[in-house]
Structure 1
Amino acid sequence: MTPTTPAGSAGPAIPGFDHVRLPGAGGVELAAAVGGSGSPVVLLHGFPQTHLMWRHVAERLADRHTVICPDLRGYGASDKPPATGPDVYAKRTMAADVVALAAALGHERFALVGHDRGALVAFRAGLDHPETVTHLGILDVVPTLDMWKVLHGTSAAVGYHLYLMAQPPGLPETLIGNSADAFFGSFLDAWAGDPAALPEQVRTAYLRASAAAVPSIVADYRASAGIDVAHDQADLDAGSQLAMPVTVVQQDWGAHLGYDAAAVWKAWAPDLDHRLTRAGHFMAEEAPGEITAAVLDLLAR
């Protein structure tokens, strides 16, 4: 499927979806693509991407579900509030955005699937809003608290950007802003198992959107080295778990970094379906049929 470019749009869009702006939390507005009909499913994108990463999966799911694909706060066409405090880009705040956005569309309960950064938001939403999130899908992450635990030694070099963007404000924004296309493009190149899954039109859209959002992207990552860890630790100490069915699809990071990924997730999600994929990190674009099937299996539980 080739994404369309509606008149007046700054870039490609998901064909057949309406593109709207909706309220998030604290006065922030989020851009979102909405299509289909039926029970609602919210899809959250990862880094360095926008909601466009869901274009293939969204079209398939829209045959039987209302599909809502927002840009996270700080990304894409959504608002990018200044990081005046650690909570502005906390995953707890970004999860509240998603709940508010869905409510604005009339959905008090919905299934939620996230990839990468969006998966961390989805995880937090599942813990904070168990009465709202009916099913939870996670693509290619472990929870923030566990992520920092499993990165160690030279193998942690794969996550160098996590450490760079965790530094105090100033230097990371300057370094990344001065070489934005090279920085963000390096992840699109290194993480794609199938580069053809990111056609030039889409790649250009990702790079343009990321270059325009350097301070907020860094703030999102900085929160994951601070306030997000504190929130996860508090839930771990309280024995909190995800109450809904959870499906995790990820590359075999456990083998690469030396940990049991399924066991990490099982500690948080008693009702777990853990799957490994041969696709690269951008699996919703590289293997949309596989990811759509995993989501539909999740929703059937």
Structure 2
Amino acid sequence: MVNIKKISQTFPTKREANLWALEMELAKGEGKELAHRTTTFADFFENWIYLVKVNDVKETTFQNYVRTSGTIRNLFQDIQLKHLNDIVVQKKVDEYAKTHSRKTTHEVLLKIKTSLRDAYARGYITNDFARLVKTRGENPPKRNKALSITDFKKLRNYVLQHPEDEFNVLVLLALETGMRRGELLAIRSESLYEYGIEVRHSISPTSGDTSLKTQNAKRDVSINKEVYELIRKIPVKENGFIFSFGGFKQSEQLAELLTELDIKKNDVSRIKRYACIILVCTRY
């Protein structure tokens, strides 16, 4: 026997009841699954990422969606799908933007919009209003600034002269190649060839997925003989990688090294690329 969930409501007059019934029939004719409209948006989003997005994206991206799910639950709480419109969503996005950068807010909004479009396509909401919601808020001043040429040379000379510390070789290699932290940590002995490195994998602190960020990230980078010989001297770890993961605290280690060398960190607390020391730093 099929269990059919019905929606009912009481009205003070027969006329109002008839109007409501007509509205329900019209919505049903448009293919709207009205029974699902009482689901909260937070519940819908969570179910959506585990049933739909889990098969569409990489593991690292999926974990990003999972983290966003917590954000959405805090923002929308018990608001049901049937109560959503562009004004409601815009207010919640603006609320989030008060304590987050415009970039972070935009990333969250993109996920919200994608889920709302899916909800509309499945008939859980009656209007495709996602396009009306905008990212607002201010971009905070950049916290990370490039080092001067003088400080860059000071750092490079120091790590080059103290290769006994594995971390110094890691920094040196980053400065020489511009490789990302995850790409550096993913180097194995078979990744090396004479005066070059095959970049094919990346290590993430939040996932076991070792694939590169994009297909275009697959490349070979050249290194000089001196740097090549320094890397070859580092013992390969039991897990097969050359560099220790170090609890993924390389940003803190770098900050300590800059302090030791009396190089101003310019409030660099989190660094995505070691190469950004000479370029423009971005958050990790």
Q: Fold conserved (TM > 0.5)?
A: no
Higher helix share: 2
Larger radius of gyration: 2
- Structure having the higher strand fraction is 1
Higher normalized contact order (CA 8 Å, seq sep 6+, divided by chain length): 1
